[in-house]
Structure formats: structure tokens, C-alpha cells
Structure 1
Amino acid sequence: MKNILALFITACSWVTLYSQHTYAFFGSFNWDKDTEGIYVYELDIIKGNLSKITSFKGIANPSFLTISPDGKYIFACTESKTENGGSVSSFEFSPEKKTLTFISTQKSGGENPVYLTVHRNGKWLINGNYSEGSVSVYPISDNGKIEPYVQNFQFSEGSINHDRQDRAHIHSTVFSPDFKYIFMPDLGADKIRAYQFQDEKEKPLQKAETPFVQTFPGSGPRHLTFHPNGKFAYCIEEMGGAVSVYFYENGKLENIQRIDTHSAKYKEGFESSDIHISPDGNFLYASNRGNENNIAIFSIQNNGTLKTIGYQSVKGKHPRTFNIDPSGNFLITANTGTNEVVVFKRNPETGLLKKVGKKIKIKGVSCVEIKRY
């Protein structure tokens, strides 16, 4: 009887697995709203191939995307790198109809929006503007419509590199694991800024007890991610070519390690860009642009610190972003410099990567988000 029950449970698991679909959403610098800007592909979870489902025209430079917790809405930084522009837009994705439909747009509150994140309740959207160093907070209606922003914080101070850090440059907006705080790596000021997030208030961003943590001078903090256990945070530093590791507790970050993302043969010209942790919490991946064009692979120790495992070429140039699918089996890179998307199979035991499937050509591809439906 037990054997029959086990077989039944296994069969149900396989049916559930194969009834689900995994989609990859790609943003791009299309520079012309009459051409395709956002692309949706289905990921073959066995072979790693990508098949185009749909795309969207009518918006300029949807350079960064994020997905609502229920997967129903796609939010995009639009008019990025557009003079006197800058907006955020929302779309509805229907996996049944395989359609992407425009819903709304709002001004970003500054030039060059580069990062969006959504609260777990799906009712708030946070945008970071790079060029003017600002952050905007938007309510989201039940139908996915973005309402005008209710808060806009402008920052001004820079840091030691006068060419790159003449003023603040917010490069990402990331919620803490409990969604009670929001962290904002500021490449221009060498700070990771922090605010309390009180979602029940009309203006949810409130001052934090510790308003920022100072990073290494000239490091240029860019993207931040938290370990699945909620105890550790990792920030990739674009200009310093390193990852800083932090112990995290109640809105406060305490630095415990700083480790190079680049191999020893590279001494300058770092352009580190994106950072993600495998769903099992065992490995961290960080992308390097510039001279290297690779993914640095680290194992995560019990105390949260990192140990370098190796480097994987992205088979292209300028991996601006990458992402890991929910199963943890695949890593997909958006190689902006060669207009290509590359899929890698991830070994869950070693953390190493192996290219699979065929490269996909997407002009100006700049972002990838992955969701299982």
C-alpha cells in the first residue's frame, strides 16, 4: 500500500511539473518605440531552449523589468537614457492567451530609471533613477495601473571618483526579506541607503535608525541581494570589481567580507554588474563586463562568507544582467554588447555552469526576469 501511495505522489508531482510553464521576460534598449522592446520566451526546463511567445512595441528603452508576486503584471523602466525622459510602465501578461498588454505609465521622477521592485502585497512599486540620484514610490491599483508617485527622494552627494561619482546615482531598490525595509545602493555616493517601509501609510518610506552604510571608497555599489535565510546580504560593486558581504538584522548591515569578482589577471577597468543566489542558498553568482565578460561563481559558507569556485564565460559581451530560474537548474544571461541571450545549465552540486540550447538574438537586450506559471 505504501509503495502504491509513493508512486501516486510521484506521478502527481510529475504531472504538476509538466503542467507548469516557465517564462523568461527580456527588456531592451530599442531606442525606437516603433520596434519591439519587451520580449517573452518560454524556457524548456529539460533542454534549456527558449521559444518566443510574444513581444511588445510602442515603448522606448524598457531597460529593466520586474514581475508582480502573482505574475500577472510586468513593470518596466521606460525611456531609460532618454533626455528629458524617464518613466515607469505596467503591462498585463496572460500565460493562457500568451499576450502582453499595456496598462499604464507614469513619470519616473528623474532621468534614467534603472531598477524597479514590487512589494510582496503587490500594492507598491519602488523605482530608482540613476542620473539624478532619486527614488520614487508608486501605489499600484488592483488592475495593475501605476498611480502617480507619492514620494520622491532626491540625493546629491558624490564620492572620490570625480568622473563617475560627481553626485548620487541610485542603481537599485531592494526590499529586506521581511519587506520592512528598503535598501538603495548608491553608486555615486558609495553608500547603501536604507529606509523603513510602512506599507499601511500613504507615504510608506520612513527614516531608518541607520540611514546608510558606507561602502569602500570608489567601489560604486550597484545591485544587492539577500540570502534565502534572511541573515546575510551581498552587494556587487561596479567600480571596485568586488562583492561586499554583510550580516543583516533589523534594518542594519554589518560588513563581514569583501571579495573580488574578477580573476587575478585583471587589475583595473572593472564593470561588475549583477548578482544572484541559487534558490538552495549554496552558491552566489556575479557578472563581470568590460575585459572579462564572465560570471564569477562563489560557494556560500555557513557563516555567510564567500569562497571563489571559478569563472564562466558568458559567450558574448557585456552581461548587463542575468537571472536564475525558480528551479535553480538554469542561468540566463542578457549580453547587451553582442545582442544575445545565452542559457546555461547549473550543476546544483558544484555550482558550475555549462552552456545549453541555442543563443537567442535580441537587439540591445538589457534585462532578464524569469517566472514559473
Structure 2
Amino acid sequence: MKQKIYYFAIVFLLAINLFSQNTYVFLGSYNRDKTAEAIQVYQLDTLSGKLTKFTSVKNVVNPSYLTVSPNGKYIYACTDTKTPNAGSVSSFEFNTSAKTLTFLNSQRSDGENPVYVSVHKNGKWLANANYTEGSVSVYPILENGKIDSIAQNFQYMDGSTHKERQTRSHVHSAIFSPQCDYLFLPDLGADKIRCYAFDENLKKPLVETKNPFTKTDLEAGPRHFTFHPNQKWGYCIEEMAGQISLYNFENGVLNKIQRVATHPDKIKEGFESSDIHISPDGKFLYATNRGKENNIAIFSIAENGFLKNIGYQSTLGKHPRIFAIDESGKFLIASNVQTGNVVVFKRDFKTGLLKKVGKQIKMENVSCVQIRKI
């Protein structure tokens, strides 16, 4: 009897270990030239939080933002970011058996400085936000993972009140609604969250709505946006104001019901709030602050969606641009651009607080991190 228990215990532990090895971490970089590694891929040990190098790719410039296809076979990236008179989106095939990340193709972004890409849940559409020229581009995705030519591109010229940073539109992200029937575009330059209906069956899927945008507070600088798992609430992080605005979401319309600071009261100016994500269980929200603080603000989420700050965690580096939470909600990984380090934190499911685990990864000018179980 004891031998059987021992045998099943060994099998169980082996199964857990095998299960823990199919979660991958994708890192982008402002590599500046094609001879340096542009994208690195690591395996995440979901027992210990350890990162192990898996593969990498060169020969592309400045992949500032990455996203993974719904089936995990393809990686899409904003490329030629921060490159004058350029800008593109690129596709890569990810093969776990061969341990390769292979470049497939690129398409022009139709706007300088692409900064965010999202994939429709059907895996057939890609949406890209261009920051400098304030535009959105939408592309069909072919069956082989390659990006087809642009289906639609909309550019915006309106700005807001800040004399230096808001002379024109600066679209900072492109986020599909939970059912992918709407596309939201936080526009830092115009203090608007733009919105289109999205019809996946049309050749030009972006359709104008009766409510083409939601106006934010002046000089808020809306940057990134995330939906709660219950699909009823949306949260927008405002880079310039250092605030998070909570919206009720229904039929493509956003109605603001709360606004809270991402920074401690002692911080009065110089806000550089950046990224925002919610734990899979919907109980906690996390937001990164760059500049003076370089931390992750942690909030509990009440039953009505309201936020309450419960603490801050240093990212142990400078300029945390993007972070990600794995699908289990066990780990949060932060990327620090200026110090070029990637740090793994373990989440406490009850308190929402974070604790560093494992060894830091170094990648010069690391710009983005994404996590996916495949």
C-alpha cells in the first residue's frame, strides 16, 4: 500500500513539473540595431518562478510591444518603433518543439511610432496603435500567421490643453472589448478614449458608433485600458495625471464612476503612469508608475468595482514600462527599460501583495513582457 502511495506521489509530482514547463515569457527590446537580440523567450517554472532561456530572434528593430495569438503559435510585434519616418508591425512563428521563433513578415504601420498591438479572439484580425501620428491600423491575419495588407487606417489631428504633450493626437493602445465587438483607443494627446464597433465579418471591420469617444479629464493623458473579468467594468490608466478612471461598460459606452490616484499623496507632479492589469480572479488591480517612484501600485477591487489602494511594490529597477500576470494569477513579471532587468514576483492570492522570487533576467532596454501558457 505504501509503495502504491509513493508511486502515485512520484507520478503526481512529475505531472506537476511537466505542467509547470509550458508557460513562456516573451520579452521585447529597444535594441536599436538588428545585430542585437530583439525578442527573447523564456520558460517560466510555475513552481519556483525561475526563468530559463528558450530562444531568441534578431534582425528586427525596436519591438516595443508584443502580443501572442490566441492559439499561441504566432507572436505579433510593433517594430521600427521610435524610428524616424518608419513604423511597422511584424509576425513571427513560435515553435515550441523546435525551440524557434521565426520571422514571417512585416507590414507598414501607416503611422510613425507604433506602440501597441492586439489580436482579435478569432485570431484573424490585428489592431495597431500609432503614437506619434495618432492613428489606428487594422489588418487581416492570414491562415499561416502572416499579416495581410492594411484593411483600415484612421488618423486623428485633435489635441488637448497641455502645450507640450497634447498638440495633437497620440493613440497609445488598441484594446478589444471582452467579446471583441468593440475596439477602444486611449488617446493621450486628445484626452479621449476613442471607440469603434468591430464587425469581424466585414472587409473593413471598424464601424463608427453613436458614441465615437469618451472624454477624460483634461491633461489626463489616457494610456492603457483593461476590462474586469466580469466584463462590466473598464479601467483606464492616465499617464500624465497619474490616475486610474473606472467606467461602467455597456454596449460600447463608457460611464465614469470613480477616479483614484496611482501615486502616494506626497507625489504632486511628474507622473509617468504606464501599464494596468487585473488578477484573473478579479480581486486586485495593479498599475505601474515610472519616473520618481518605479513601483507597482496595488489596489483591491470591491464588489461594485471601486478601487482601494493597499500598497506599493518597487519594481527593483527604473522605468517599468510593461508588466504581465500569468494565466494562473500566481506570478507578476515586470520589465524595467532603463536598468534592463526583468523581475518575477509571486502574488499572494489572499492579500494581493507581491514578493520577489527567482533570479532577475537582464535584457538591455527591455520594453515589453508577455506571458502565455502554451
The within-5 A match list for 1:315-354 is 315-354=316-355
For 1:184, the equivalent position in structure 2 comes to 185
Are 1:255 and 2:256 counterparts?
yes
Q: CA deviation at 1:15?
A: 2.7
For 2:359, the equivalent position in structure 1 comes to 358
Are 1:141 and 2:128 counterparts?
no
**85-94 vs 40-49, which moves further:** 40-49
The within-5 A match list for 1:45-194 is 45-194=46-195
**Deviations for 1:207-234, whole angstroms, at most 9, x for unmatched residues?**
0121100001001000000000000000
Q: CA deviation at 1:265?
A: 1.3
Q: CA deviation at 1:12?
A: 7.2
For 1:15, the equivalent position in structure 2 comes to 15
Distance 1:265 1:338 in 2: 25
**Deviations for 1:253-272, whole angstroms, at most 9, x for unmatched residues?**
01000000001111100000
Are 1:205 and 2:222 counterparts?
no
**Deviations for 1:15-64, whole angstroms, at most 9, x for unmatched residues?**
37733511000001000012110000111111111111111000000110
Distance 2:311 2:151 in 1: 44
Q: Please, which runs of 5 or more residues in structure 1 have no aligned partner?
A: none
**1:181 corresponds to which letter in structure 2?**
Y
Q: Please, which runs of 5 or more residues in structure 2 have no aligned partner?
A: none
Identity among equivalent pairs (%): 61
For 1:218, the equivalent position in structure 2 comes to 219
For 2:295, the equivalent position in structure 1 comes to 294
Distance 2:262 2:42 in 1: 30
**Deviations for 1:284-308, whole angstroms, at most 9, x for unmatched residues?**
0000001000000000011011011
Distance 2:18 2:222 in 1: 40
For 2:311, the equivalent position in structure 1 comes to 310
Distance 2:229 2:12 in 1: 27
SS of structure 2 residue aligned to 1:208: coil
**79-88 vs 44-53, which moves further:** 44-53
Distance 2:110 2:75 in 1: 19
SS of structure 1 residue aligned to 2:208: strand
Q: CA deviation at 1:337?
A: 1.1
1:13/1:276 CA distance change after superposition, 3 Å: farther
**16-25 vs 43-52, which moves further:** 16-25
SS of structure 1 residue aligned to 2:338: helix
Distance 1:14 1:211 in 2: 53
Distance 1:332 1:214 in 2: 32
SS of structure 2 residue aligned to 1:338: coil
For 1:228, the equivalent position in structure 2 comes to 229
Distance 1:175 1:339 in 2: 30
SS of structure 2 residue aligned to 1:254: strand
SS of structure 2 residue aligned to 1:18: helix
Distance 1:353 1:162 in 2: 38
**Deviations for 1:171-223, whole angstroms, at most 9, x for unmatched residues?**
00001111110000000000000000000000000001211000010010000
Q: How many residues align?
A: 368
Distance 2:245 2:171 in 1: 17
SS of structure 2 residue aligned to 1:337: coil
Using structure 1 for the length normalisation, give the TM-score.
0.96
**1:159 corresponds to which letter in structure 2?**
S
Distance 2:320 2:238 in 1: 15
Distance 1:117 1:13 in 2: 36
Distance 2:326 2:57 in 1: 22
Distance 1:163 1:123 in 2: 38
**Deviations for 1:103-142, whole angstroms, at most 9, x for unmatched residues?**
0100001100000000001000000000000000100000
1:65/1:46 CA distance change after superposition, 3 Å: same
SS of structure 1 residue aligned to 2:209: strand
Q: CA deviation at 1:96?
A: 1.4
